Amino acid sequence: MKVEEIKKQFEKDLVHASSNQEVEAIRVAYLGRKSKVTDILKNIAKLSVDEKKTVGAEANKLKLEIDSALTEKLNQISAKSTKKPIDISEPGTKYPVGHMHPLTQFIQKSIDVFKSIGFEVYQSPEVDTAYYNFDTLNVPKDHPARDSFDTFYIEDGRDISDDNKLLLRTHTTNSDVRYMETHKPPVRIIIPGKCYRHDTLDASHEATFYQMDGLVIGEGICITDLLGTLRYFAQEIFGKDVKTRARPHFYPFTEPSIDLDISCVLCKGKGCPVCKRSGWLEVMPCGMVHPNVLKKMGVDPEKYSGYAFGFGIERLMMLYYGINDIRLGYSSDLRFLEQF
């Protein structure tokens, strides 16, 4: 019988072996003194020189393969015999289950609040042009925000002053004019997303962060609509006892511009180190959309008005969960994440 035929027959016989005795019988049949493999090795002397080399090598290789297969089969039989029967009355093994990151949870909670009062979610590109990120928002070419020390620019061969220069958006406000190019008033949208700025990393700053912008445009929109919307949002997130106040500020894309503060959620307005003993926390830049920006949107500022707002999601998340270091949200530390 040829070596290949012996190998195939051995494999068929081994499959049906289910006990140590059956495996031993197969071993004797194929590797014993009167076995098929032994017969081949005994008759090698009768072959020519070339045949001796070929058949001898194949027979020895088969002998090693059979020995290895027999050992593996014995191990399998042993494992089955020592395996404990399953007790279906025992409680099952509990495996750890993942969950949403606290930042993702807070983003979704914020979106749900705005959706409840008619806002739609709009997504815009993180890589954009200087035109949408700056020019359309009344930020001139000599504005400090356009400096490379504040903005991440992409090497695309264009000069930093070129309107088509590519960059990583510094705010989700880059979406406002882009959205209005394909939509007409009235509009009511929020734009959550990731932003990028040259910032020194510390307990309250990250170079990569999330922001949520809002834009409302329609007829008869006034500043009280803005303040009422943001007060509603603050109280839905932090509780009905939270108070809000508006302070004048300057932002190039709104006029008038406002900084909206909320009463400190940690000390309840009494004063603490987090609010610098003032009892107030600055959380939301906002204001009425500047007429120049409305014109860039193709909207008639004589007929329509609107308001815009934006806030850093990480900052509000820190207040919501009582976190004192923004870097914890990006640490992937399970000791931190498992608390949420």
The mean predicted confidence, pLDDT, of the chain is 86
Report how many domains make up the chain.
2
Domain boundary (52, 82, 112) is at 82
Segment 52-91, tens digit of pLDDT: 677 777 777 877 888 888 888 888 877 776 666 777 888 8
Q: What tokens does 174 get?
A: 């880059």
Q: Which domain holds residue 52?
A: 3-82
Domain boundary (49, 82, 115) is at 82
CATH of the domain at 292: 3.30.930.10
User: Quick check: 11 pLDDT over 90?
Assistant: no
Helix axis angle, 223-238 to 102-115, nearest 10°: 140
In a domain, 246, yes or no: yes
CA 29 to chain centre: 61
Strands (E), 181-253: 187-196, 208-218, 244-251
Same domain, 77 and 111: no
In a domain, 291, yes or no: yes
Looking at residue 217, its pLDDT comes to 97
Same domain, 12 and 46: yes
* CB neighbourhood size of 94 (10 A): 6
Check: CB of residue 164 under 8 Å from CB of residue 129. yes
Q: The whole model's pTM is what?
A: 0.68
Same domain, 166 and 258: yes
Segment 161-209, tens digit of pLDDT: 888 999 999 999 999 999 999 999 999 999 999 999 887 766 556 778 8
Confidence of residue 330 (pLDDT cuts 50, 70, 90): confident
Same domain, 168 and 277: yes
Burial annotation 51-86 (CB, 10 A radius, 16+ → b, else e): eeeebeebbeebbeebeebbeebbeebeeeeeeeee
DSSP 40-60: HHHGGGGS-HHHHHHHHHHHH
Same domain, 181 and 263: yes
Domain boundary (54, 82, 110) is at 82
